[in-house]
Structure 1
């Protein structure tokens, strides 16, 4: 088996601010091939590496299949626990899902209050994982467009609510759920423990399982739920995050989007990847940034002595 190819999924360059690569990293980036820009954003970045047929974005169904294995035959909508804080202009989404540090006790305490509301509406709610709550819907359920929580974090809640006649029912359900959660005594206990209350839900990720998910990779490394759900559906090896690069034995997609320190990226990931490439243990490396920019790094580029170093990942 030949040396593997690796893609580093990285956050947008602006997340690193004014930080700069070290000399070796800047030299390698300056000599790399700058690839054509792709569409920016979380979803387009993942769709550059996964093909879904039909082409849609049913993350609720994909993550449900990963969490419970029973997604087939229904449509799914995530109804993740959320914390919104009122302000002078309305309310803002400050946290949802895993950011709320929920345990089994939290789900066991809060879900019973919501089950009659959603059950009566024909959308049973449950939580196979404490941080991920689901509504089961009929397969042909007509749904409005919902916004992913990553796109609404810190923003005015009302700018991201489902719109139009199709969204009216969901706005009503959300309002009733917020009343139930706001009055729930379990939230007072969470606040006493220094934890954010679960005072809202976030609807997103609607859809049914795709007929087919494929990828050119054989493995992924990372913890982000959408990536792991897509990888599982495509039959890829799903591996936990690592603290430093080690040359893989198969083509691998490595999720480094949580990184915010360019020095650590250069030291723990880029430098050892370059060393593996020079030793013939890595065939090539691609840097794929969430802002759509991308670079291809290959062994033969070390002879591009005329290229100037590039110390930042910015466009």
Structure 2
């Protein structure tokens, strides 16, 4: 017995791209479930992991995987970021892995930031060059921080924390930007045509959860957060393969980055449907971030009275 779940972006990310006849027929005959809640994308994650207390404690869980010391306090990701000013404000253009920082560059950039954050009672460090952390008191009150994926390419000021707690973190961000602006590492990076590290992105504030479990034996993803949650849930965290491949057990594949519907169908959905018909897997689910889910089984082929789905957004 084996099942497969494809985690997918919102359907509107595929625009007007067309379904192949095979996929259109299968989706037309599939069972559908719609979650229209405002936090549909957050609930998509909770269908993969059961977390107590409820939430998405990214910073603490990735810290535990990176350094093994997340029980020592509360944690906030303070990832290196590239912000580009424009006529209307500023935009987040890159962060974390996309900046391809070396360990030496990371150490140099952190050197002047340590006393700055130390004066506020926080310790900043970086177990890996792409993931930076602030260690906070366990009882620290934090505003709501948006994840960098939500803000990428958008106006920075629409994603900064607000309220009384937010004011403090906006001030700390401004101080960090001043420190980083004229850092010699950025001058060297500019001379090599690389993006500077001129800001930080605060997000994921949390303490380590008491409980993380999953029904899946394997989680395939290139997202460090999903990999960290899989590890904490004692599931095998695997890098995402380039296409569908037959396997055993219950598996989930993180395809939320995909925007090419033709590629998604040829590399993933169509071969998955072939394995479903051949009995290699018993059930499959296409789980979209906007809340739509298609549940697929081989015996749905007898639902010949159902019309093919003319559009992924229908």
Band the TM-score falls in, shorter-chain normalisation: over 0.9
Task: Flag as ranges the 4+ runs of structure 1 deviating above 4 A.
Answer: none
RMSD, matched Cα? 1.4
CA contact (8 A) 2:93 2:153 kept: yes
Look up the match of 2:5: 7
Structure 1: distance between partners of 2:234 and 2:208 = 14
2:294 alignment partner in structure 1: 295
Deviation of 1:121 after TM superposition, in Å, equals 1.5
- Please say which of residues 138-147 and 29-38 is displaced more in the overlay: 29-38
User: Which residue of the partner structure matches residue 202 of structure 2?
Assistant: 203
* SS of corresponding position for 1:249: coil
User: Which blocks of at least 5 consecutive residues in structure 1 are unaligned?
Assistant: none
TM-score, normalisation: structure 1:
0.95
Report the alpha carbon displacement of residue 105 of structure 1 after superposing the two structures with TM: 2.5
- Map 1:1-315 onto structure 2 (within 5 A): 3-37=1-35, 39=37, 40=39, 42-315=41-314
- The aligned length equals 313
1:25 and 1:311 in contact (8 A); partners too: no
Which whole-Å deviations, capped at 9, do the CAs of 1:202-227 have from their partners, x for residues lacking one? 11100100000111212111111221
After TM superposition, give the deviation of residue 261 of structure 1 in Å.
1.5
Structure 2: distance between partners of 1:37 and 1:152: 23
- 1:22–1:311 contact (8 Å) kept in structure 2: no
Cα distance, 1:170 vs structure 2: 1.3
- What are the Cα deviations for residues 221-275 of structure 1, in whole angstroms up to 9, with x where unaligned? 1111221121111111111111221222111111111222211211111121111
Q: Please tell me whether the aligned partners of residues 41 and 291 of structure 2 are also in contact (alpha carbons under 8 angstroms).
A: no
Secondary structure, counterpart of 2:105 in structure 1: helix
- How far the C-alpha of 1:107 sits from its partner, in A, is 0.6
Separation in structure 2 between the aligned mates of residue 25 and residue 90 of structure 1, nearest angstrom: 43
Q: Secondary structure at the match of 1:188?
A: helix
- Give, in angstroms, the shift of residue 42 of structure 1: 4.0
Q: CA deviation at 1:24?
A: 1.0
Provide the C-alpha distance between the structure 2 equivalents of 1:5 and 1:212, rounded to a whole number of angstroms.
24
What is the TM-score when the length of structure 2 is the normalising length?
0.95
Residues in 1 aligned to 2:105 and 2:212: alpha-carbon distance in whole angstroms = 33
Query: Any idea what SS the aligned residue of 1:178 has?
Result: helix
Distance 1:312 1:15 in 2: 13
Deviation, structure 1 residue 106: 2.2
Secondary structure, counterpart of 2:308 in structure 1: coil
How far residue 38 of structure 1 moved from its aligned partner, in angstroms, is: 5.1
Please give the alpha-carbon distance, in whole angstroms, between the structure 2 residues aligned to 1:36 and 1:13: 12
Q: How far did 1:61 drift? A: 0.4
1:265-298 per-residue CA deviation (whole Å, 9 max, x = no partner) reads 1111112111111111101100001111110010
CA contact (8 A) 1:223 1:241 kept: yes
